[in-house]
Amino acid sequence: MARKKHTPNDPDRRQRILDAAIAVLQDGGIPAVSARAIAARAEVPVGSVSYHFDSIRSLLREALRSIIEFREQSLREWNETVTEGDVVERLAELIHAQITTGRNLTVVAYELYLLGLRDPEFRALSIEATSVLSRQLAVHLPEEEARRLAAVADGVQMHSLFLRPAPPVTSIIEELSP
């Protein structure tokens, strides 16, 4: 039976390209990103990358959106298990997980967030990315305290990515505590 006209023969291709871009970012950072590298990783023709994304910059923005959505969903699930009384300890555990087992994705997230420092197109996404935790903490804490703790957590997490080995949860708790 002949395929219908105007129906995609590879409906998951765009998502595979996006996933491949994130994998390339995890392996080599922003300098490693190219249409060829992404196409090879996604096992698609190079032209498919430009068909689905009009530029590498737009692909990077979409990658950041994807990471933000993933983090927001993960934080919603995490937040369901947190109480006001254990929020700092649980946040320290979360940071520890993100700098150890989730390190590669966390590094990519920061690399993409930081593009917002110079690039107006990334700025709104970077602001969104940094406000995700604050919104989740505001479920348990006053809004101002949630913003403060999220900012401290962000700094602790970024700093911890430079340290080898990663600091233990107890050290992270100390840094987060007022």
What pLDDT, in 10s, does the model give residues 138-170?
Answer: 999 999 999 999 999 999 999 999 999 999 999
State pLDDT tens for residues 12-62.
999 999 999 999 999 999 999 999 999 999 999 999 999 999 999 999 999
Residue 10 confidence (pLDDT) above 90: no
pLDDT above 70 coverage of the chain, percent: 96
Verify that 29 and 99 share a domain, yes or no. no
165 cis-preceded (ω within 30 degrees of 0)? yes
Verify that 72 and 48 share a domain, yes or no. no
Residue 5 inside a domain? The answer is no
State pLDDT tens for residues 80-135.
999 989 999 999 999 999 999 999 999 999 999 999 999 998 999 999 998 999 99
Judge contact between 82 and 120, C-beta under 8 A: no
Verify that 49 and 85 share a domain, yes or no. no
Verify that 112 and 159 share a domain, yes or no. yes
Verify that 41 and 103 share a domain, yes or no. no
Residue 1 confidence (pLDDT) above 70: no
User: What is the C-alpha end-to-end distance of the chain, expressed in Å?
Assistant: 68
Verify that 97 and 20 share a domain, yes or no. no
**pLDDT confidence of residue 3:** 46
Q: For residue 149, what are the domain limits?
A: 60-176
- Which CATH number characterizes residue 46's domain? 1.10.10.60
Verify that 96 and 134 share a domain, yes or no. yes
Residue 6 inside a domain? The answer is no
Residue 109 inside a domain? The answer is yes
- Among residues 56, 65, 16, the alpha carbon closest in space to that of 35 is found at 56
CA 131 from centre of chain: 12
**pLDDT confidence of residue 8:** 62
**Cβ count within 10 A of residue 121:** 12
Verify that 109 and 39 share a domain, yes or no. no
d(CA 46, CA 64): 21
- Which CATH number characterizes residue 77's domain? 1.10.357.10
Residue 1 inside a domain? The answer is no
Q: Global pTM?
A: 0.88
Determine the 3-state secondary structure of 119 from DSSP.
Answer: coil
Residue 7 confidence (pLDDT) above 70: no
Number of domains within the chain: 2
